[in-house]
A and B are shown apart, each in its own frame.
Chain A
Amino acid sequence: MLRVEGLGHHFDGVEALAEIDLEIAEHDVVGLIGPNGSGKSTLLNMITGIYKPSAGQIRFRERIISGMVPHEIVSLGIARTFQNLRIYKRMTVADNIWAAQHSLPGVSLRDFRSGKQDDQIEQLIDVVGLGPRRDELAQTLPLADQRRLELARALVRSPDLLLLDEPAGGMTPVETQSMAALIRDVALPGRTCIIIEHKMDLISALCGRICVLNFGRKIAEGPPDDVLKHPRVLEAYLGMDGARHA
């Protein structure tokens, strides 16, 4: 479904990604891990068209999407969340989710907001546990709820490919568990997904495959158990000495 071929990107001479190959089949759930600055978010930014590749290409369903502008790319059925949370803070919870529908086919811009939104929105609000807060401004939500809101906003577009950038970032262990359950039960069924996360229990619980980046290059890929024992992965995370003792 998604094929990344020889992808490279540099910011003013600093190499952010190089020679990345990644193939993701329909209904795959792939964890993308790596130390800070290893290029994980850059990869998502390139898939969604925010950055243009300086080498290589990205195909979505055999169509080359690298070079397309973001609104065209997401309209093909891709949705994402952000590491540093992007929501419309001055809008209510319900309006944030409503906003994600504006560009969907068959939606008229002359539609009006009403006290109750269509069933899909109301169901999503309830499923992510924001029912009691549907009319509150998003800026007043605690962080964990803002992350749930972001997830609901991505899901309302019914994407085929879902890109989650640290969905449990900044959450307590309890909140992380409930987020993992939410992703497993609501977000993943019937979908292809890439999840970036530092919390390995969440990654191993949800992902069938892990891809590890370090300094913009892929250093390992495979099932979670194998990859997390891979010497180069241990080295990247723990340093040379740590890897030797592990």
Chain B
Amino acid sequence: MMDEYVVSVISNMGMISFLALSAYLLLLTGEISFGQQAYFAISAYLSAMATAMWGWPLWAGLLLGAAAAAFAAGLIGVLTLRLRGLYFSIATLAFAEMVRLLFVNFHYQVMIDGEPVGPDGAEGFRDIRWIFEHNVSAFEYMAIILAVLTVVVTLFFIAERSRLGSIFRMLGEDPLLTELQGLNVIRYKVLASCLSGFIAGIGGAFYAHFATYLEPQIFNVMLGVHGLVYGLIGGLGTALGPLIGVALDIGFLEAVRAIQGYRMIVFGGLVAVLLIFMPRGILDEERVHWLRMTWRRWRNAAR
């Protein structure tokens, strides 16, 4: 069996990857969101309420949480339609802080076996015990996370080759030009928002049941910044970009114990250097295009 520590690091990487992919999707459409942690939080709380308080199975709680996150994201998408650049970023950040403060003041508990269960404001939400009650081992839970992540990443790859995926990239490059290709830009922006909320929500639901304990403070702006930066580091040319960002930060920096105390300093420095020299990340569109062409040449030569 795998080392418990390794299992928890990989699980963490898997869960945060959903957040990174959700921010990546918005980055593709040209929006820098500092608020994806809000959708992560909404789904974490709601899915945990569903399993711990209402006795729902995990998958149903996850779907409910992700759907609610998608709805909230769609709403924010509509409200921020007219905002560009920095103003969009600030609006998403403000919304995420609102959500966090909402959970600080959110009390909703029911008695289960003589114990109060449910969100208790700043005291947090304890005893989200679904995976223990159902004898899911840490290793199995990791496998579930990775399986769902694989499905989501595969969908990204499929979308990337489709007209829909192309529209998202068109929005990111030139929304006005995209409108003049006969596409309702508003509709696709809101759609991208909803999808990004849903994806962040999947990660949030997994996180709640992995941690068994939620408190509003977890979902602060630093979580959102990390989620955002993973795509910017790893690259915006492919859905592997955000995963590379996650692997670099959590897999490498956290795992290398020698730099343990300095992780944030090293990470911050890495981000700054990369954004100067590779503004669209390691695997940006140019490098991905180069890799694709090289692969095609190589494959044709092999025939």
Mark A residues whose CB is within 8 Å of B: 48, 50, 69-71, 74-75, 80, 82, 86-92, 95, 98-104, 107-113, 115, 135, 137, 157
Q: Is the interface of B mostly helix, strand, loop or mixed?
A: helix
Pairwise interchain contact B162-A70, C-beta atoms closer than 8 A:
no
Residues of A close to B135: CB separation below 8 A: none
B286 near A137: Cβ-Cβ < 8 Å: yes
**CB of B177 within 8 A of chain A?**
yes
Known contacts being A135-B293, A137-B285, A137-B289, is A109 close to B182, with CB within 8 Å?
no
A95 to B162: give the CA distance in the assembly, Å.
11
Q: Which residues of B contact A69 (CB under 8 A)?
A: 179
Give the residues in chain A near B163, CB-CB below 8 Å: 98, 101-102, 107-112
Tell me which residues across on chain B come within 8 A of A135, comparing CB atoms. 293
Within the complex, which residue of A91, A92, A101, A111 is in contact with B162, where a contact is CB–CB below 8 Å? A111
The interface-forming segment of B74-82, B166-174, B210-218 is: B166-174
**A99 in contact with B162 given A88-B173, A91-B173 (CB within 8 Å):** no
Task: From the candidates B158, B167, B177, B289, name the one contacting A102 in the complex (CB within 8 A).
Answer: B167
Interface residues of B in 51-72 (CB under 8 A from A): none
Chain A residues with CB under 8 Å of B183's CB are: 71, 102-103
A50 near B176: Cβ-Cβ < 8 Å:
yes
Q: Which residues of B contact A (CB under 8 A)?
A: 158, 161-164, 166-167, 169-170, 173-174, 176-177, 179-185, 285-286, 289, 293, 296
Q: A98 to chain B: which residues have CB within 8 Å? A: 163, 166
Report how far A82 CA is from B179 CA in the complex, Å. Answer: 14
Which residues of chain B come closer than 8 Å to A110, judged between CB atoms? 162-164
> Which of B163, B174, B176 has the most C-beta atoms of chain A within 10 angstroms of its own C-beta?
B163
A113–B173 CB distance below 8 A: no
| Chain B residues within an 8 Å CB radius of A74 | 180-182
Q: How far is the CA of A221 from the CA of B173 in the complex (A)?
A: 38
10 smallest CB-CB distances across A and B, nearest first, come from: A103-B182, A90-B285, A109-B164, A86-B177, A75-B182, A109-B163, A70-B179, A88-B173, A112-B161, A74-B182
CA–CA, A181 to B139, complex, Å? Answer: 67
Residues of B within 8 A of A107 (CB): 163
Cβ of B289 and Cβ of A89 under 8 Å apart? no
Alpha-carbon gap, A107 to B167, bound state (A): 13
Residue of A nearest to B185 (CB): A71
Q: Provided the pairs A102-B167, A111-B162, A113-B161 are in contact, do residues A89 and B179 lie with their beta carbons within 8 angstroms?
A: no
Question: Which residue, of A87, A99, A135, has the highest number of chain B Cβ atoms within 10 A?
Answer: A99
| Cβ contact within 8 Å between B173 and A95 | no
- Inside 8 A of B162's CB, which chain A residues have their CB? 109-113
Q: Give, as a whole number of angstroms, the nearest-CB distance from A208 to chain B.
A: 26
- Determine which residue in A92, A101, A112 has the highest number of CB atoms from chain B within 10 A of its CB, and name it: A112
**A90 and B164 contact, CB distance less than 8 A:** no
Q: CA separation between A157 and B184, bound complex, in Å?
A: 16
Residues from chain B with a CB closer than 8 A to the CB of A92 are: 289
- Some 18 contacts from A to B, beta carbons below 8 A apart, are A50-B176, A71-B180, A71-B181, A74-B181, A91-B169, A91-B170, A98-B166, A99-B170, A102-B167, A102-B170, A102-B181, A107-B163, A108-B163, A111-B162, A111-B163, A112-B161, A113-B161, A113-B166
Expressed in whole angstroms, the Cα–Cα distance for A113 and B285 within the complex equals 16
Question: How distant is B214 from chain A, measured CB to nearest CB, in Å?
Answer: 37
B300 to chain A, nearest CB (A): 10
The answer to whether A88 touches B174 (Cβ under 8 A) is yes
- Among B177, B184, B286, contact of A88 (Cβ-Cβ < 8 Å): B177
B residues in contact with A157, CB < 8 Å: 181-182
A49 vs B289: C-alpha distance in the bound complex, in angstroms? 34
Report B88 CB to chain A, min CB distance, Å.
20
In the complex the two chains form, is A80's CB within 8 Å of B181's CB? no
Cβ-neighbour of A90 out of B173, B180, B185 (below 8 A): B173
Whether the pair A71, B174 counts as a contact (CB closer than 8 A) is no
CB <8 Å contact, A102 and B166: yes
Chain B residue, CB-CB nearest to A111: B163
**Other A-B pairs beyond A69-B179, A86-B176, 13, CB < 8 Å:** A74-B180, A88-B169, A88-B170, A91-B169, A92-B289, A95-B166, A98-B163, A102-B167, A102-B181, A102-B183, A103-B181, A109-B167, A110-B164
Q: Which residues of A contact B185 (CB under 8 A)?
A: 71
